[in-house]
Amino acid sequence: TNVLVALGAKNGVELWFDEGSNSEWARSFCRRRGDQRVHSYTYTFEQAKKDRDEYFTLFKGVKAWHERQVEEPIHTRSLGGRRRLSVMSRQEKLNTPVQSTGADMLKAGMRTLWLNRDLLGQAFPILAVHDENALQVYGTEDDVKHTQGLLEKFMVESAQPFLKTVLVEVDSKYGRTWG
């Protein structure tokens, strides 16, 4: 399997796995969106197993959680309490609580933005997608930077109650368009 590594991606490092047919497209996409360095290399099954074993050695709690997954359908819950019934696949059993908790945190952040809208001045939420809130700000660059600071503050404050023992960090950026 070929692995394309984009350094400087939104969350630091992004891996794209493919069987070679889309690697040129993925490389081009990463460069167009401004990733600083893009590399491609072959990732063998043996290397993947070694990396997985090292990961589980470092994160024993995650390994135990993986091992506790049962074969029959289960109900999962996010840290916010939302549930998904009759989850069948092992991957969904592992992924659903994580993705659902991310959605809980995004929604909590949207609520905090709404409750504090009087502090935002001429800034308005215009879009929430996956793990991002986009705001449109009318004003000077100082207004934009002020709004950016408030957005980061509100998102951290909203997410921290879900992740009591994990430090919450928020990345943000601004530009002339949200695209």
Q: In this predicted structure, which of 5-19, 23-37, 131-145 has the lowest mean pLDDT? A: 5-19
Q: Which long-range contacts (CB under 8 A, 24 or more apart) does 31-37 make?
A: 34/8, 35/6, 35/7, 35/8, 35/9, 36/7, 36/8, 37/6, 37/7, 37/8
Reported as a single tens digit per residue, the pLDDT across 75-115 is 999 999 999 999 998 889 988 998 999 999 999 999 999 99
Tokens of 11: 């969350």
Which tens digit of pLDDT belongs to each residue from 138-173?
A: 989 999 999 999 999 999 999 999 988 888 888 888
In 3-state terms, what secondary structure has residue 23?
helix
Whether 13 has a pLDDT exceeding 60, the answer reads no
pTM above 0.85, yes or no: no
Give backbone dihedrals phi and psi of 118, rounded to 5 degrees, phi first: -65, -20
Which residue would you say has higher pLDDT here, 114 or 3? 114
Within a 10 A sphere around the Cβ of 74, how many other Cβ atoms?
Answer: 15
pLDDT of residue 160: 93
The CA distance from 87 to 76, in Å, is 7
Q: Is pLDDT of 6 > 60?
A: no
- Report how far apart, in Å, the C-alpha atoms of 133 and of each of 17, 86, 102, 138 are: 27, 30, 12, 16
